[in-house]
Amino acid sequence: MKFKDGYWRMRPGVRGDYATAAHDVTADAASLRVLAPTRPITRRGNTIDGPVLRVDLSSPMPDVIRVRAVHFAGSVPAAPVFEVRDEAPAVKIVVDGEEASLTSGALTVKVRRDLPWEMSFSADGRELTRSAGKSLGIMHDADERHFMVEQLRLSAGELVYGLGERFGALVRNGQSVDIWNDDGGTSSEMAYKNIPFYLTNRGYGVFVNHPGRVSFEVGSETVSRVQFSTESHDLEYLIIHGPTPAEILRRYTALTGRPALPPAWSFGLWLSTSFTTDYDEATVASFVDGMAERGLPLSVFHFDCFWMRQFRWCDFEWDPEVFPDPAGMIARLKERGLRVCLWLNPYIGQASALFDEGAAAGHLLRRADGSVWQDDHWQAGRAVVDFTSPAAREWYADKLRGLLDMGVDAFKTDFGERIPTDVVYADGSDPERMHNYYSLLYNQTVHDVLAERRGAGEAVLFARAATVGGQRLPVHWGGDCESTFEAMAESLRGGLSLGLAGFGFWSHDIGGFEGRPDPAVFKRWVAFGLLSSHSRLHGSGSYRVPWLFDEESVDVLRSFTRWKLRLMPYLYGAAVQATHEGLPMMRAMHLEFPGDRACDHLDAQYMLGPDLLVAPVLSADGDISYYVPDGVWTRLLDGETVTGPGWRTERHGFDSLPLLVRPGAVLATGARADRPDYDYADGVTLTAYQLADGASRTVTVPAVDGGAGAVFEVSRSGDRVHARRLQGAPAPWNLRYAGVDGAAAPGIDHIEITLSSKE
C-alpha cells in the first residue's frame, strides 16, 4: 500500500508518525527492548501526548533476528499465528551510551541511541540493510485505519525475489505486492499462494510474521527501499542471514517447516477427467485403455468436480447416474496398478444434504448475527466449513474416511482462497488474519486424514491455496492458466517464485487449463511438465489425452514420461533433499548460481535438482535462447557438450529441449521406465559428467521410502574413473563416463573404467 505522494509528501488524508530515536533501552539475557518515541524528546514535556513504539529484538535461532514493533498492545488479536520455531539460542548483547546491539551467530542488529532513528543489520562486517529515518512507524489513512509500516534499505544493484507464487517477472523490484490469497488465475497480479517472505542477492531474507494482508512496495514507493505494512497495531519481521540464497532458504524453512516427502508413486504421470467435460466410467476406462495400448506409463487417475452431483459440492457422494459402482470402478483401476485422486473444496452447496447437517452442528462459518454466511459464488448458496472448530475438522475428515476406505489414495484440495472476512470463527480468530491462514487449516485437515489412513509416507495433496507453513503439505499446483505459450511461461515463473518461498514440490496443468491447446503448445508443455516435480494432464472443457491432438503428441508424451521414470533415482534424491533442507526441486537459476550475475533475472529456465538445467521451449518453431553457466555441460538427450558461460540459440523438435547435465555431476538413472516406484538401486547406472581429475562425488540412491537405498563414491584419477559401493544390498549396478561403460554383477562393490585420451 502506498502512503506517500512522491517522496516528500503524504497522500491526501494520510498522516504518519515515525520512530525518531531509541530513547530508552533495556536488556535481559536474551533480548533488547527499545522505546522509540515518534517525536524528539528534548525535554520532559515531550513525553506527553504522543505515540511511542515498543520495539523488541530477539533471536529464534542462530543467524536470525526477530524485530517486533508494537503500538497498542491491547489491540493485537491472539489468533491465528504462524508456527515459528524458537530455539532460544545464546546471543551477545551490548548496551552503551551510543548504541545497543544484539548478535546471533554472524548476524548483528545495532540500534542508534541518538537522533535520527537508525537500526542496521550486518553480518561478517558487512551491512546488509537498515531501517533509517522515516522508516518504522504508524500510519493513519483518511478513513482513520491504523497501519504499522517499515522500510528497509535496498543497496545499489540489490534484487528482491520471493513473496510466494507470483506470475510476473521473477525479480520483484518495482512491484507492488499484496499478500492476500485470491482466485485470479495466472495472468494477473493476484496469487493463490501468498507468502510474506522475500530474499535478496545481498545475502539475507525477510519474513514478515503476519498471517493477514501484508502490503509490499518493493522499490515501488521509495525506489531505494522495500516497504511493508499491515493494518494492525503490531508488526513483526525476521531478518535471516545466508549468505547464499540456499542457506537463507534452509534457515527460513527451519523456522516455518519443511515439506513432507510425497510418496514415490506421486511422481509418475497423472491423468484427469478434466473439469466440465462429459465423463463416466466408460470414458475413464477408454482413457486408461488408450494409455496402455499406446505404451504410455500412467500412475494416477484423477476425478475432477463432477464425480459428485451438480449443485451439491461438496457432499462427498458419487453421482450415481455416471458412476453407479464407484467401489468396483476404483477396484478395477487398482487392478491396473493405478492410484486414484478425487477433487474437493472447503465449501458446502445449499443443495447438499451436508448443508443442513453442518449448519445444525455449527460447522459452518457464521455472520455476526449468528446466521450461516452464504453467497452464490461457485456453488448456489455456498457456505464455508469453519476449520478453526475441532468438531468441524473431524466432521469434514470423517466424510473423507469413507472415500479412503473405498480405495481413494489422494485428494485435490481446490480453492481455499475465496474466504470472507465478515464472519465469526468458532475459536474467535480475527477474520482478516484468517483469510490467508484458512488454506493451512483446510489442507492440514485433509493431509492429516490421509496420513492417518494411509500412513505419513503415503499422504499427498494436489493443493491450490497456501500460506506460510503450507510447504509442509505437498503437493501444490499453479492454478488456472490459459492454453498458450505465454501462460506456460507465466506458470513457470510462478513455480520458480514459489520455490523461493520454501515450497519443495510444484506442478501445473500440462497443456494449460482454459481452452484447448494447439498441438504445438501441448507437445512443448508435455516436455516441461514431465521435467517438473509432479506431472498432471488436466484441462477445463476439453480432454488432455494426447491422441486427441496428434500422433506425435503420443510419441512426445511417451518419450518424456519414460525419461522421468528412468530419472527417478536422481529426482527422488532431490525430493529427499527438499524435505531435509527446504531446497525446491525446481530451482531458479539464481538459487544455484548466486555469483553469476547473468542468472539474476533468468525466469524461463531452471535447475531440476542440483545437476539438471532445463529450458522449456516456448514456441511452436522450436527456436530458443538460453543461458549456460560456466563449464562444459552435457546434453542429456544426445550426449553432445555445450560450453559456458554464454548464451546459446538453438532449434529443437518437439521431442527435444535444452536438458543439460552440470559439469562434475554424477547422475543416477534407474533400470525401469514403466513406473516411478521401484528399487532404484537395482540396476542403477551412475554416469559421471566432466568429472575433474582428482575430484570425487558421493551419490546416494534413495530407497522408495526415502531412506538411503545405496551409497556410492565415484572419483577420477588421471584417465581412470573409479566407483565403489559404500552402502546397500548387493545388486547389479553400472558406471558410465562420457559414453564409456563398465558394469558389475551382484556382489561386486567396485568398478573401474579407463577413459580414452580425449574425453
171 to each of 257, 400, 448, how far by Cα in Å?
Answer: 25, 41, 35
Burial 105-144 (b: 16+ CB within 10 A, else e): bebbbbbbbeeebbbbbbbeeeebbbbbebbbbbbebeee
CB distance 284 to 338 below 8 Å = no
Active site residue 409: no
> Rounded distance, CA 90 to CA 751, Å?
49
Residue tagged 542440483 (cell numbers): 610
- Catalytic residue chosen out of the listed positions 409, 417, 509, 514: 417
> Rounded distance, CA 124 to CA 105, Å?
10
> Rounded distance, CA 377 to CA 365, Å?
15
- Catalytic residue chosen out of the listed positions 480, 490, 509, 677: 480
**Cβ atoms within 10 Å of 97's Cβ, excluding its own:** 7
> Rounded distance, CA 545 to CA 527, Å?
15
Beta strand 146-153 pairing with 160-164: unpaired
- Catalytic residue chosen out of the listed positions 118, 182, 183, 414: 414
Active site residue 417: yes
Backbone angles phi, psi at 181, to 5 degrees: -60, 135
> Rounded distance, CA 698 to CA 664, Å?
12
CB-count burial class (<10 Å; 0-12, 13-18, 19+) for 486: middle
Upper half-sphere CA count for residue 263 (Cβ side, 13 Å): 21
E strand spans, 47-186: 52-61, 64-70, 92-95, 99-104, 107-112, 119-123, 126-131, 137-140, 146-153, 160-164, 175-179
Comparing CA positions, the residue from 481, 507, 137 lying closest to residue 341 is 507
> Rounded distance, CA 386 to CA 279, Å?
32
Active site residue 448: no
Comparing CA positions, the residue from 216, 304, 750 lying closest to residue 509 is 304
> Rounded distance, CA 176 to CA 566, Å?
42
**Cβ atoms within 10 Å of 369's Cβ, excluding its own:** 6
Q: Give me the active site residues, please.
A: 414, 417, 480
